[in-house]
Structure 1
Amino acid sequence: MTQGDLREVTVGDCSDLYYLDTGMYDTDEYGAVYVYDAARPAIVDTGIGTHHELILDALDELDIAREDVAVIAPTHVHLDHAGGAGFLADACPNAEVMVHEIGAPHLADPERLVKGTKAAVGDQWEFYVEPKPVPKDRIVELNGGDTINLGDHHLDVYHAPGHAPHQVVFHDRDDDSVFTADAAGIWVPSVEEIRETSPPSNFDLEQCLADLETVRDLDPEALLYPHFGPRKYEDSVVDEYAAVLREWVETVEAKYEKLGDPEAVEDYFAERAEMTDVWGERKASEEARLNTRGVVGYLDNRGE
C-alpha cells in the first residue's frame, strides 16, 4: 500500500471495516487508520494529523457523511495515534472522541504532549503538525471494562499501559478482532516480521509482557495493527513479540553496560538500524534511536 490507499479488512470475520495508509513520516505501510462503516460510524486512531484530509477523503469514498461519524477513538494519545483527533473532531461535529482517562487532558490541552513529542522524536518533528485541541465537552473518558457501542459492533476496552499509561486495546466482540494499539509491536507486512516499539518515556517491559497476555487471553481471529494493517491471529504471535522485546532490551542493556553513555548507545543502534530496506535509512535510523532511548530510560528507572 501507499499513501492514500484504502482497503477493506478481510481477515477473519471482520466486517464493515476499512484501513487507510496515511503515509506517516513519508513512509509506506507504517501508519494505518481504521474506519468503521457501521450503524454508528467510527474512526480508530487518527495518525499524526498531517494528512488528516486523507481520512476525510476515505469517509467520502465510503459514502459516510461527516455528520454521521459517531466515534473517534485513539488507542492512546501519542501523536502518531491521536495527532489528528482535533482536526477530525472539527470536521465531524457529532463525533465523540473516546480515549483513556489518563490521556484525555492531553487531547484538550496538547501543550505538554507536544513538548514531550518534540523531545522524543527530534528531527522527525518536521513530519508532524501542531495538534488541534479537542473541546472538553466532546471527550469521553474510557477505562478498562468500558464498551464503545457502534450499533452492530461493540468494542470492549482493555487497559494496556506497558507502552504508555494511556494505552488501551479494543476487542470487537462481534467480529472477534483486536485493535492492538502498540501492545503487539509493529507488524511489517512486506517482510512478515514483528518489530519492537519501546519509546520514551513510559516503556515498561514487564507491563508490556502482561499486555501481551491480555491479547492472548482474548484469543481473537484477527489483529488490527496501527503499524501496520490487519493480520490473522495465532498464539505464536504473542510468543514471538515477547521474545523480540526481551531480546531487544537485553541487547540494549548489554551495550549500555559496555558504553555507559546513553547518547553513545543511541548512536550505536541508530547507525546499525535493520529496517533501512523497508522504511528507508532515515526513518529506520530514527526508529532505532527512539526505541533505544525508551529502553535506556526503562533500565535507569527499573530499580526506583
Structure 2
Amino acid sequence: MEVGDVREVTSGDCSDLYYLDTGMYGTDEYGAVYIIDDDRPAVVDTGIGTNYDLLREALEDVGIARDDLAVIALTHIHLDHAGGAGFLAADYPNADVYVHPIGTDHLIDPSRLVAGTKNAVGEQWAHYVEPEPIPAERLVEIEGGDVIDLGTHELRVHAAPGHAPHQVVFEDPANDAVFVADAAGIWVPKIEETRETSPPSNFDLEQCLADVETLKALDPDVFCYPHFGPRYVGDDADRALEEYATVLEEWVDAVADKRRELADDEAVVEYFADATEMTDVWGAEKSSEEAKLNTRGVLGYLEHRE
C-alpha cells in the first residue's frame, strides 16, 4: 500500500469500512486513518495533520460530503492520532469530535500538547504541523461504557490507559472489529510482526498489560491498527495479544538491563537507536527516532517505578 491510497477493509466480515495511508513521517504503511460510511459517517483518528489533504480526498473518494461527516472519533490525543482533528472539524462543520475528558482542554488550546510533543519526538517534529484549536462546543467527552451510534454500526468505548491516560479503544460489533489505538502495539504488515510502542511520558507497563486483557475480553476477528492497517486475527486474537504482551515485557527488560550496564540514560537511548532492526522497513531516520522515543518512555517508566 502506498501513501494516499484508500482501500476498503475486506478482512473478516467488515463492511462500510475504509482505511487511508496518510504517509506519516514520510513513511508508507505507518499511519492509518479509518472511515466508516454509515448513516452518521465517521472518521477514527485523523493522523498527524501534515498530509491532511489526503484525508479530505479519501472522504470524497468514499462518497462522504462536506456536510455529511458526523463523527470524528479520537482514540487519544497524541498528535499522530489527533493532529488533523482541528483541520477536519473546520472543514466539516457538522462533525463533532469525540475524545476522552483528559483530552478536551488540550484540543481547545493545543499549546501544552505541542510543547510536550516536541519534547517527546525530538527531530521528528519536522514532520508535524501546528494543530488547529477546536471550539469547545464541537467536543463530546467519552469514557469507557459510552456508545457512539453511527446507524448500522456503533462504536463502543473501552478505556485503555496504559499507553496514555486519555486512550480508549473503539469496538465495532457489526464488523467484529476493534480500533485498537496503540493498545495492541504497532503492526508491521511488511514483516508481519508486532513492535512495541512505549512513548513518554505516560507509558505504564502494568496498565498496558491490563489493556491487553481488555482487548482479549472483546475477542474481535479484526484489529484495526492506526500503525498500521487492518489485521484479521479470527480465533487467534488471544495468541496475537499474548505475543504483544511478550514483546512489551521483553522490551522493558532489555532497556532496564542496558540501563544497569551503561548507567547513563542518554547512552541507553543512543544504543537502541543504533541497534534498531527496522531500518529496512521504515528507513534509517524513522526507525532510529522511533527507537529513541520508545526508549525514553521506558526509562521514564523505570524512573517512576523506582
Once the two structures are TM-superposed, the CA of residue 238 in structure 1 deviates from its matched residue by 0.7
Superposed, 1:193-208 pairs within 5 Å as 193-208=193-208
Structure 1, unpaired ranges of 5+: none
Quote the residue 1:272 is aligned against: 275
Number of residue pairs matched? 303
Q: Which amino acid aligns with 2:10?
A: T
- C-alpha distance in structure 1 between counterparts of 2:110 and 2:152, whole Å: 33
- C-alpha distance in structure 2 between counterparts of 1:125 and 1:175, whole Å: 35
Residue 298 (structure 2) pairs with residue 295 (structure 1): yes
Q: Percent identity of the aligned residues?
A: 67
Structure 2, unpaired ranges of 5+: none
- C-alpha distance in structure 2 between counterparts of 1:106 and 1:262, whole Å: 29
Quote the residue 1:97 is aligned against: 97
Residue 265 (structure 2) pairs with residue 262 (structure 1): yes
Superposed, 1:174-185 pairs within 5 Å as 174-185=174-185
Residue 68 (structure 2) pairs with residue 65 (structure 1): no
**Residues 124-161 of structure 1: per-residue CA shift (max 9 Å, x gap):** 10100000001100000001000011011011000100
Quote the residue 1:127 is aligned against: 127
**Residues 164-216 of structure 1: per-residue CA shift (max 9 Å, x gap):** 00000000011110000000000000100000000000000000000000000
> Where has structure 1 moved over 3 Å in runs of 4 or more?
none
Residue 165 (structure 2) pairs with residue 162 (structure 1): no
Q: Which amino acid aligns with 1:96?
A: D
Once the two structures are TM-superposed, the CA of residue 218 in structure 1 deviates from its matched residue by 0.4
**Residues 252-273 of structure 1: per-residue CA shift (max 9 Å, x gap):** 0000011111111000000111
Residue 39 (structure 2) pairs with residue 36 (structure 1): no
The 3-state SS of whatever aligns with 2:94 is: coil
- C-alpha distance in structure 2 between counterparts of 1:261 and 1:87, whole Å: 41
- C-alpha distance in structure 1 between counterparts of 2:170 and 2:157, whole Å: 5
Q: Which amino acid aligns with 1:269?
A: F
Quote the residue 1:246 is aligned against: 249
Quote the residue 2:17 is aligned against: 17
Quote the residue 1:191 is aligned against: 191
Q: TM-score, normalised by structure 2?
A: 0.98
- C-alpha distance in structure 2 between counterparts of 1:75 and 1:275, whole Å: 25
Quote the residue 2:117 is aligned against: 117
Once the two structures are TM-superposed, the CA of residue 74 in structure 1 deviates from its matched residue by 1.3
Q: TM-score, normalised by structure 1?
A: 0.99
